[in-house]
Structures are given as C-alpha cells and as structure tokens.
C-alpha cells in the first residue's frame, strides 16, 4: 500500500537524519483518520519536500530504500527537485527541495519543521490548488482537507488562512489560480455522497478561506500585475517527466 510506503520512507529519513515531509494525496490521507468513504481514492505515487541541507544524503537514502534515481533529471534540477523509481513495485517518488515549483512556486523551506510527517496544511492545500487545470483527484483531496480541518489564522491542526492570504497577496498569478480553484472545488462538493451537515460545513470553510484571501491587503506588485490581468500568462507550464 502506497500510504504505508510513504510512512516507511519517513521512518527511514528520521532514522538517518534526513528530514522528509510528505505532500500530495498521501499527505492528505494521513491527515484524515476519519475518512468518509465518498472521499476515498487510490494513490499512485509519493511526493516529498526536503530542505536544501538534506538534499545531499537523499540520494543514498533512496537507493538504500530500493529506489533508482532519474540520473539526468536529477542532475539538471539538482537545486530544486529529484525523481526516484522503484521498478519492482511500480512506484515513483518526486522530491521537491526548499520549494514546490509546478504551475506556481510555493515556498516551503521555513515551514518544513512545523508538522511531523507532512508539510503544513496550508502548503498542502496550496500545492493541490496551484495547478491550472485542477483535476478530480485534486478536487477530492481539497474537499477532504476541508472536511477534516477548520480555517484559522494559525497552523494548529487547521488550514492557516493567514499564510495562504499572505502568499496570494504578494503574487497576483498565484491569487488568480488559487481563488479560481477554490471556487471550482466548492462547486463540486455535491459530486460526493456526503451528508448535508458535512457538505454545508465544507462549503462554509471554502467561503471563509476565499473571504480571508480577498480581505488581505495586496502588495504594490500584486496591483501592478493585476492591471495586466490575463492578457499575459500568469503561470508556468511544468514539464512532463517520464521514466
């Protein structure tokens, strides 16, 4: 089971002094001890974040764990990302170094020590919603996150709305993508067989987070970029990486 494999790698990291934090769907699952059947799904791959100082010993840890590095990709992206494969079990591990960079960059380095095992809930949500074409599994994971966690201005078993609002207020492109995807996810709550009380609570949390993001004073750079709007592309197109 891929969730158990994620926990195994976390334990190996802890034993060898390599601080690893899960992100992606498996991280969302670990934060959902009471998983509603309607929000369950299969997980294919593992995603981790590490700080730059732990990047050097990572390669050996992954080899010892039974994974082979994607040599050319890792050499080309050594400062920000690494890929590893376990062909025997058909597993892929994607490791992000200091920040999560796909359609948008989500800084992680100063926040990796806040949670044990995963990145904080705010960053977990942001990494799910930073993709331009959010898919069903990301919507499902986002709904699951807000099913189990309130919206607060702190990280104590809550989605830190202050952190999300701060990042969005300084980057118009990130704000544009995150707010659009929050609205999109909210519209799909009814796709899942949840009881009325759960659906209403989740919808209220989406509304609360959107309101918090909108209320945050925007930076001068945000306002200047907002004038250009969608006439200029506001996101990156991450490369597809095969084995």
pLDDT tens digits, one per residue of 42-96: 998 999 999 998 888 999 999 999 999 999 999 999 889 999 999 999 999 999 9
Rounded to two decimals, the pTM is 0.94
Task: Per-residue pLDDT tens, the chain, 243 aa: give them.
Answer: 899 999 999 999 999 999 999 999 999 999 998 899 999 999 989 999 999 988 889 999 999 999 999 999 999 998 899 999 999 999 999 999 999 999 999 999 999 999 989 999 999 999 999 999 899 999 999 999 999 999 999 999 999 999 999 999 999 999 999 999 999 999 999 999 999 999 999 999 999 999 999 999 999 999 999 999 999 999 999 876 555
pLDDT value of position 243: 52
Classify residue 67 as exposed, middle or buried by CB count within 10 Å of its CB (0-12, 13-18, 19+).
buried
What tokens appear for 140 in the block?
A: 């499902």
Classify residue 40 as exposed, middle or buried by CB count within 10 Å of its CB (0-12, 13-18, 19+).
exposed
List phi, psi (to 5°) of 72: -70, -45
What tokens appear for 15 in the block?
A: 């034993």
């Amino acid at each position: 089971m891929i969730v158990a494999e994620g926990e195994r790698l976390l334990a190996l990291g802890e034993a060898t002094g390599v601080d690893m934090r899960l992100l992606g769907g498996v991280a969302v699952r670990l934060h959902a001890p009471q998983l509603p059947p309607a929000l369950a799904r299969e997980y294919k791959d593992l995603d981790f974040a590490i700080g730059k100082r732990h990047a050097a010993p990572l390669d050996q840890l992954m080899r010892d764990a039974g994974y082979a590095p994607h040599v050319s990709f890792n050499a080309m992206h050594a400062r920000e990302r690494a890929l590893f494969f376990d062909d025997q079990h058909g597993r892929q591990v994607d490791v992000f170094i200091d920040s999560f960079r796909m359609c948008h960059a989500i800084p992680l380095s100063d926040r990796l020590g806040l949670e044990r095992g995963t990145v904080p809930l705010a960053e977990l949500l942001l990494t799910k919603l930073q993709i331009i074409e959010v898919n069903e599994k990301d919507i499902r994971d986002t709904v699951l996150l807000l099913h189990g966690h309130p919206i607060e201005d702190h990280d104590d078993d809550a989605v830190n709305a202050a952190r999300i609002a701060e990042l969005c207020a300084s980057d118009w492109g990130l704000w544009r993508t995150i707010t659009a995807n929050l609205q999109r996810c909210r519209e799909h709550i009814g796709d899942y067989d949840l009881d009325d009380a759960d659906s209403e609570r989740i919808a209220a949390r989406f509304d609360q987070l959107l309101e918090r993001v909108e209320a945050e004073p925007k930076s001068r750079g945000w306002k200047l970029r907002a004038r250009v709007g969608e006439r200029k592309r506001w996101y990156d197109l991450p490369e597809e990486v095969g084995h």
